[in-house]
Chain A
Amino acid sequence: MQNKPNEGSVKKRGDCAVLYPGGYLNDIEGEKLEGVCEDLLQKGCRKFVIDFSKAELINSIGISIIIGVIQKVRDKNGAIFLSGLKKVNYDIFNIVGLTRQISVFKNEEEALLWAGGDSGGALM
């Protein structure tokens, strides 16, 4: 079983990038995530999983940034999935309507299975 990488880091699984936002997804953390995603998009990555298993708290600014990230990925004809949401964070995504727009999985492995990525891989 793979060890979970540190919060805020990225892991490559086949052709899929898995991003791990930190404990409090606010404007600061959100912008870091957005920057990493943009960088990966520029390098040609087109499959993303954002795993929220380490995210305790998400605020509305963080949500806004996630929406922006999703839009950017889709603008580049990419695919993006979410995983590992705690109940309250799932509720938040539900309130803003994201759960109707994007696939949400219980954990990273299930999301990667759907995305067609490998179960192995190294930290970026």
Chain B
Amino acid sequence: MNSGGLFSTSSDNQFFGRAEIIERLFALPSEKSRLSSAVYLCGKRWAGKTEILRRVHKKLFFEQTAVTPVYYQFKDYPDTAGFAEDFLKEILKQTLAFRRRSPGLAVSPMTLDAIDRLLGAHRSTDGLREFIQRHREAQKTGDQTAAFRNALRAPLSINSNTNMPVFLILDDLDLAHRAVCFEGRPGIKRDLSDALNALPFFIAAGREKGVLDNGIINTAELLPLDGLDEEVSFVLLAELCARNGVEAGAEALTAASRKLEGCPFYMKNFVYSAKKAVSGLLSLNDFARVYADDITDGNTAQALRSYIKLDGLNSFKVLKECADDSAGNKATGAEELAGTLFLSAPEVKQSIKELCALGLVESSLGAVIYTGGGVTADFISYAYGVYAKGLSPGEARAGLINGLLRSGFDTRYSRVRSKLKEEVEGVLRGFDGQKVDKTLLRFSTPLTGLEESAGLGAPPSSKDDKIALPQITGFYGAKSLEESAAGPELIVAEGFDEGRYEDAGSVVWLAAIKDSEAPVTGEDAENFLRRIGILKENFKDKKTVCWVIGREGFTAVARKILDGAGAFTTDGARLNGLKQSLMKDGGEGGLNAGLGGAVSEFEVVIPSSSMAELVAANAADGIAVNMGFDENARGAIKTAVVEACINAFEHGRFKTGRVLARFIAGKDRLVIHVRNGGTDFSAPVLLRQGASAGLLKRRGWGLELMKGLMDEVRFEKLSGGAGIVMTKLLGRKGDASDAKQA
């Protein structure tokens, strides 16, 4: 970005995915109706907080005159007076710069004397010189507190004497929380807190949420700054590769977009490493090599080395242990760390304090949780191997690459594996106290003929053939109850039977899932029953129900074992039938309520290229034919999809971006989601006529067409992009009327 002479920012083609936050922060001063007009932007190191704040400052400087923007970045100072002078200089200098419309002045290093002279040159700012006078008096008498309070009063005083109140933009505010010059001086922190809370609006940013909890500011809204989502990261990586002449492929970019935590800093370094190595990024292997290069010897390694400066090996050990525990989803206590690492309690406590200050761990309610992120964990693991365990760099690097390849391979398939689990979870959510045919939960009761092959529910049957399902109040994986689970995951679903919300009505369903190409075998069945038998001990005072779901069904031996144990058994086809049965019978609580029954979902991903929209349009047409839409309605759907895709191409952030079209075919409607990885879809265009020509304006008809052709159109703001949702109802708005004659 051309910073316009203000605080430096990166170029526009290297900054992405944050347009919405910037707009929101820019609009803060005008949001009078809000309870709080202060925002605390909280995000990890390198998440882009400074970049966002500086861009907001730039927008406020050039695009409005209602408030005076002042950007201030907290540092550590030799003493309180040092902070006071620095803060005062920035407030006065930037106020003057804004009034004189001189961006260069805002960033010039100036002495207080020089600022004093400039202020005196203008009547409108002459009154501000009193702050400099008071500061000098406080310096003479050595009264640091007076200097500090004087500096803090400056923005408030400007607010009360002007129509352009100061809008403070405070970067690294958590440094104020930990600054040496403020240490042991609670009065100083209180003064800072009072001054900030008295301001009508401000933005602050930092790494720690504690800034809010510990009362430095207590009127701000917390706005977490997460990493860019995977899809945006993918597109961004593709863009960076294209700009740097690095050949890229989907497998490597997918792995990178998952690994790099949506952090633009890591992504830029990663691509730079590939460029330096003259290496393509096509396969998982390529990704692993380049990533290893970057975090052992590249820009990311250097950055991490300079930021993770630890006092000794003890802190390193504690950090490594916490990072390893975090990988296993475990929080550790200080005592446990001391025992594991053979350190004394004070040594561990000191290390935890040091690591907290660096933002690498959080200590809460006795638990120490690693918060440094996966990339940092890999760096720590490598560095620990080399410096603590004495491995050669090559050996440590090979271990890192092996781990990356294993986890990348696993991830490739885990998304497929998790599908059945997600379906089961969806079905559990839909139980809702309904009754379903026994056939759907007992494999030994076969479905008849066609229904079985189509996965439909069995024909209606008598009451005795129905099973009453509980109302599930919540479910979770059994990992927390099993130290080391051998076999697929078990889901524990708790709820109440027959609407009896009392102990006697409590029930726990233990669902074991086998999602593979092989049926559930006798060995699997015994393993499940063994695990469930142990898990049941956790729920002694509750009724427990065992349910085994196998995508590919069960062997005869497995069926016999499970039937004998009284377990429910459902294969893939029956699970589908169960889903549909629950949707058919369910009211608001049923699955996919609002889609009126059986639902099929389809997805198409298209590149942002010419004519690609026809792929999505033809897919929509095929679906619409099957649903029974008439020719006119299908034409409308196709056209609307074309328009949505074109709009997505145009407003996607990246030329190499993708557009996702999802079609949800319900009983009485077709719902179409189109999303991109970019800025908002264009705002609705007003239909108006050119006054002189008597004809219409030429461009921007897409949204009008979508709204005119579909029954419902709405927009979604999504993380990293935007989306449009369109609905076409069966039997409406497709009414035939012939083209009229003139």
What's the minimum C-beta distance from A107 to chain B, rounded to whole angstroms?
A: 9
Given contacts A71-B695, A106-B738, contact A95 B708 (CB under 8 A): yes
Residue-wise interface mask of A (20-55) relative to B, using a CB-CB cutoff of 8 A (1 in contact, 0 not)? 000010101000000000000000000000000000
Q: Which residues does chain B contribute within 8 Å of A123, judged by CB atoms?
A: none
Q: Which residues does chain B contribute within 8 Å of A74, judged by CB atoms?
A: 695
Residue-wise interface mask of A (41-78) relative to B, using a CB-CB cutoff of 8 A (1 in contact, 0 not)? 00000000000000011111101100110110010000
Given contacts A59-B639, A59-B642, A60-B643, contact A85 B739 (CB under 8 A): yes
- A88 and B639 within 8 A (CB): yes
> Does A118 sit within 8 A of B, measured CB to CB?
no
Q: Which residues does chain B contribute within 8 Å of A67, judged by CB atoms?
A: 695-696, 698
- B740 and A57 within 8 A (CB): no
Given contacts A103-B742, A106-B741, contact A95 B709 (CB under 8 A): yes
Q: Which residues does chain A contribute within 8 Å of B738, judged by CB atoms?
A: 87, 106
Q: Which residue of B lies closest to A111 (CB)?
A: B742
- A95 and B698 within 8 A (CB): no
Q: Which residues does chain A contribute within 8 Å of B611, judged by CB atoms?
A: 24, 26
Q: Which residue of A lies closest to B693 (CB)?
A: A71
- B739 and A106 within 8 A (CB): yes
What's the minimum C-beta distance from B225 to chain A, rounded to whole angstroms?
A: 36
Given contacts A97-B687, A106-B738, A114-B742, contact A86 B635 (CB under 8 A): yes
- B739 and A57 within 8 A (CB): no
Contact of B704 among A81, A96, A106, A110 (CB under 8 A): A96
Q: Which residues does chain A contribute within 8 Å of B646, judged by CB atoms?
A: 59-61
Given contacts A57-B642, A64-B698, contact A97 B689 (CB under 8 A): yes
- B701 and A96 within 8 A (CB): yes
> Does B636 sit within 8 A of A, measured CB to CB?
yes
Query: For window 690-721 of chain B, which residues contact chain A by CB distance below 8 Å?
Result: 693-696, 698-702, 704-705, 708-709
Q: Which residues does chain B contribute within 8 Å of A68, judged by CB atoms?
A: 698
> Does B736 sit within 8 A of A, measured CB to CB?
yes
Residue-wise interface mask of A (78-116) relative to B, using a CB-CB cutoff of 8 A (1 in contact, 0 not)? 000100011111111011111101011110001000100
Size category, A interface: 35 or more
> Does B124 sit within 8 A of A, measured CB to CB?
no
- B742 and A96 within 8 A (CB): no
- A88 and B635 within 8 A (CB): yes
- B632 and A88 within 8 A (CB): yes
User: Roughly how many angstroms separate A95 CA and B698 CA in the complex, as a whole number?
Assistant: 14
- B701 and A91 within 8 A (CB): no
Query: For window 109-137 of chain B, which residues contact chain A by CB distance below 8 Å?
Result: none
Contact of B736 among A56, A87, A92, A96 (CB under 8 A): A87
User: Roughly how many angstroms separate A12 CA and B529 CA in the complex, as a whole number?
Assistant: 83
Instruction: Identify whether the interface residues of A are mostly helix, strand, loop, or mixed.
Output: helix
- A87 and B695 within 8 A (CB): no
User: Roughly how many angstroms separate A70 CA and B639 CA in the complex, as a whole number?
Assistant: 22
Q: Which residue of A lies closest to B634 (CB)?
A: A88
- B695 and A57 within 8 A (CB): no
Q: Which residues does chain A contribute within 8 Å of B694, judged by CB atoms?
A: 101
What's the minimum C-beta distance from A91 to chain B, rounded to whole angstroms?
A: 7
Q: Which residues does chain A contribute within 8 Å of B214, judged by CB atoms?
A: none
- B639 and A28 within 8 A (CB): no
User: Roughly how many angstroms separate A101 CA and B704 CA in the complex, as a whole number?
Assistant: 18
> Does B356 sit within 8 A of A, measured CB to CB?
no
> Does B610 sit within 8 A of A, measured CB to CB?
yes
- B614 and A87 within 8 A (CB): no
Interface centre among A81, A88, A94, A110 (most CB of B within 10 A): A88
Q: Which residue of B lies closest to A107 (CB)?
A: B739
- A104 and B614 within 8 A (CB): no
User: Roughly how many angstroms separate A60 CA and B704 CA in the complex, as a whole number?
Assistant: 9
What's the minimum C-beta distance from A81 to chain B, rounded to whole angstroms?
A: 8
> Does B737 sit within 8 A of A, measured CB to CB?
yes
- A89 and B635 within 8 A (CB): yes
Query: How many chain B residues touch the partner (CB < 8 A)?
Result: 36
Given contacts A95-B708, A99-B740, contact A64 B701 (CB under 8 A): yes
User: Roughly how many angstroms separate A56 CA and B639 CA in the complex, as a whole number?
Assistant: 10
What's the minimum C-beta distance from B688 to chain A, rounded to whole angstroms?
A: 9
- A88 and B636 within 8 A (CB): yes
- A64 and B699 within 8 A (CB): yes
User: Roughly how many angstroms separate A113 CA and B700 CA in the complex, as a whole number?
Assistant: 34
- B741 and A110 within 8 A (CB): yes
- A57 and B617 within 8 A (CB): yes
- B696 and A91 within 8 A (CB): no
Residue-wise interface mask of B (627-647) relative to A, using a CB-CB cutoff of 8 A (1 in contact, 0 not)? 000011001101100110010
Contact of A104 among B642, B693, B742 (CB under 8 A): B742
What's the minimum C-beta distance from B634 to chain A, rounded to whole angstroms?
A: 8
Interface centre among B631, B687, B694, B699 (most CB of A within 10 A): B699
Given contacts A67-B695, A71-B693, contact A95 B704 (CB under 8 A): yes
Q: Which residues does chain A contribute within 8 Å of B699, judged by CB atoms?
A: 60, 64
User: Roughly how many angstroms separate A57 CA and B631 CA in the complex, as a whole number?
Assistant: 13
- B635 and A87 within 8 A (CB): yes
Q: Which residue of B lies closest to A68 (CB)?
A: B698
What's the minimum C-beta distance from B481 to chain A, rounded to whole angstroms?
A: 56
Q: Which residues does chain A contribute within 8 Å of B702, judged by CB atoms?
A: 59-60
User: Roughly how many angstroms separate A70 CA and B179 CA in the complex, as a whole number?
Assistant: 69
What's the minimum C-beta distance from A21 to chain B, rounded to whole angstroms?
A: 15
Residue-wise interface mask of B (587-630) relative to A, using a CB-CB cutoff of 8 A (1 in contact, 0 not)? 00000000000000000000000110110010000000000000
Contact of B740 among A63, A95, A104, A114 (CB under 8 A): A104
User: Roughly how many angstroms separate A81 CA and B742 CA in the complex, as a whole number?
Assistant: 10
What's the minimum C-beta distance from B685 to chain A, rounded to whole angstroms?
A: 10
Q: Which residue of B lies closest to A24 (CB)?
A: B614
Q: Which residue of B lies closest to A52 (CB)?
A: B739
User: Roughly how many angstroms separate A91 CA and B638 CA in the complex, as a whole number?
Assistant: 13
Contact of B705 among A90, A96, A98, A103 (CB under 8 A): A96
- B635 and A60 within 8 A (CB): no
- B696 and A97 within 8 A (CB): yes
Q: Which residue of A lies closest to B638 (CB)?
A: A57
User: Roughly how many angstroms separate A72 CA and B538 CA in the complex, as a whole number?
Assistant: 80
Q: Which residue of A lies closest to B699 (CB)?
A: A64
Interface centre among B617, B687, B701 (most CB of A within 10 A): B701
User: Roughly how many angstroms separate A63 CA and B646 CA in the complex, as a whole number?
Assistant: 14
Interface centre among B698, B699, B739 (most CB of A within 10 A): B739
Q: Which residues does chain A contribute within 8 Å of B687, judged by CB atoms?
A: 96-97
Q: Which residues does chain B contribute within 8 Å of A110, judged by CB atoms?
A: 741
What's the minimum C-beta distance from B236 to chain A, rounded to whole angstroms?
A: 27
User: Roughly how many angstroms separate A85 CA and B611 CA in the complex, as a whole number?
Assistant: 22
- A91 and B709 within 8 A (CB): yes
Query: For window 633-669 of chain B, which residues contact chain A by CB distance below 8 Å?
Result: 635-636, 638-639, 642-643, 646
Q: Which residues does chain B contribute within 8 Å of A96, judged by CB atoms?
A: 687, 696, 701, 704-705
Given contacts A67-B696, A96-B687, A97-B687, contact A91 B708 (CB under 8 A): yes
User: Roughly how many angstroms separate A88 CA and B708 CA in the complex, as a whole number?
Assistant: 11
What's the minimum C-beta distance from B153 to chain A, rounded to whole angstroms?
A: 57
Q: Which residues does chain B contribute within 8 Å of A87, judged by CB atoms?
A: 631-632, 635, 736-739
Q: Which residue of B lies closest to A59 (CB)?
A: B642
Q: Which residue of A lies closest to B709 (CB)?
A: A91
- A88 and B701 within 8 A (CB): no
- A92 and B709 within 8 A (CB): yes
Contact of B742 among A26, A59, A90, A105 (CB under 8 A): A105
Jot down 23 A-B pairs with beta carbons below 8 A, ordered by A: A24-B614, A28-B610, A56-B635, A57-B617, A57-B642, A59-B643, A60-B702, A64-B698, A64-B699, A64-B701, A67-B698, A86-B635, A87-B632, A87-B739, A88-B632, A88-B639, A91-B632, A95-B704, A95-B705, A97-B687, A97-B696, A98-B696, A101-B696
User: Across chains A and B, which 9 residue pairs bring their CB atoms closest together, nearest first?
Assistant: A88-B635, A103-B742, A95-B708, A60-B701, A90-B739, A60-B702, A87-B632, A64-B698, A85-B739
- Given A95-B705, A96-B704, 7 other A-B residues pairs in contact with their CB atoms under 8 A: A60-B701, A71-B695, A88-B639, A89-B635, A92-B709, A104-B742, A105-B741
